[in-house]
Amino acid sequence: MKSKIHLFIAVLGISLIISCNCNTKTENLMKEKNIVTDEQLDFLGITHKDKLSAASKRALKWPMDLGNEWFFEYKVEDLKGDLAYEEGVVRRDPSAMIKHDGKYYVWYSKSVGPTDGFAGDIETSKVFPWDRCDIWYATSEDGITWKEEGIAVARGEKGSYDDRSVFTVEIMEWEGVYYLCYQTVGGPYNVRVKNQVGLAWSNSINGPWTKSEEPILSPANNGIWKGDKQDRFAVEKKGDFDSHKVHDPCILPYKGKFYLYYKGEQMGEQITFGGRQIRHGVAIADNPKGPYIKSEYNPISNSGHEICVWPYNGGIASLITTDGPEKNTVQWSPDGINFEIMGVVKGAPHAIGLNRTVDNDKNPTEILRWGLTHEYKSYDYQYIRGFKTWNVINHKAKGE
């Protein structure tokens, strides 16, 4: 009897797969032949299928089942304890949260004092809020009230590649070892300085941490500055999308390898129809410590700012915010490289620290249900806050 039941289930499963594949193939074939159905026209409100505007032509290329599972709204709220706002202190760019012995852990950039900018003496001034940072960490039992535990990774000694600042950190746990990847700057911090990515690891979540002797990722070396004046917009050749800076690193274990996602800034970066020229890239390694090799398909986004990526449905999802023509979109890639837009959102929290303790595959945006963000109290001082999101599936007027 069990054999018959198992056979029935197997046949049913194969039938469903064939049905799904046939539906997909049918839909693709209809698109290739520009076949428009009455259901599409009715859903999109298109009256004359022989007189289509450019917008209607684009709409007819959308999937027939648009869905709403990738669409969300959000709110931001204060935290309690040591991560509440503190005058004169910068806490920003929280990492993802992981859980250990019943406590949530988060790492972040911390500095003190106001920002001076580039007008003063760059040897002694603080040119950005994230300048002269060290990486600190905090713990919480409920994700709301936090206790600051101290420094995790400090700036390097004079003359090292990270002697000016270490900041914008992410955490990865793999086979009992903890890895922190982060941005680095070596002094002097001028407008043409090239940011890099460093790595630290520890067998204990509380450290101590061993730092990589050299950066694990550096900007492309194929742009050419114009003149000697400190002007980051003056270039003879812009070079690759990441010829100036590699920012916001995040390492994900994926398909037996390690994918280092990062934000690239280009020498001579310009303002285009989407705003700043910011794009994302990925570098791949066989080992968490590297070496990391940049993908030949870079850049892998047309837009974005802070990296916010998570595994979903056998691929990688990415929240694209702030800059570029595809900003405020949620995208997904079946292979971690080729991303397509899955949803457009009204906005999102800045510098998201994801909650990596949840079931990613429960919902495309389940990992965004709650987490951490940072907010500007002023240009000089930022602090870490919490956020919540929810899927929006309908809208009604008052009294409906």
Could you report the per-residue pLDDT of 115-173, keeping only the tens digit for each? 999 988 888 999 999 999 999 999 999 999 999 999 999 999 999 999 999 999 999 99
The torsion of the CA quartet 173, 174, 175, 177, rounded to 10 degrees, works out to: -60
Could you report the per-residue pLDDT of 253-311, keeping only the tens digit for each? 999 999 999 999 999 999 999 999 999 999 999 999 999 999 999 999 999 999 999 99
SS3 of 44, please? helix
C-alpha span between 89 and 28 (Å, rounded): 55
For the record, the structure tokens of 209 come out as 């941490």
The torsion of the CA quartet 66, 70, 75, 77, rounded to 10 degrees, works out to: 170
C-alpha span between 361 and 353 (Å, rounded): 18
Say if CB 333 and CB 319 are below 8 A apart: no
For the record, the structure tokens of 217 come out as 């990722």
Phi-psi sector, 248: left (phi>0), alpha (psi -120 to 50), beta = left
Could you report the per-residue pLDDT of 316-328, keeping only the tens digit for each? 999 999 999 999 9
The torsion of the CA quartet 239, 242, 244, 249, rounded to 10 degrees, works out to: -170
Peptide bond connecting 349 to the previous residue in cis, omega within 30 degrees of 0: no
> Is 237 a residue whose pLDDT tops 50?
yes
> Among all chains, which residue has been given the structure tokens 């746990």?
173
Residues in the chain: 400
Q: Quickly state the pLDDT bin for 66 (edges 50, 70, 90).
A: confident
C-alpha span between 48 and 31 (Å, rounded): 18
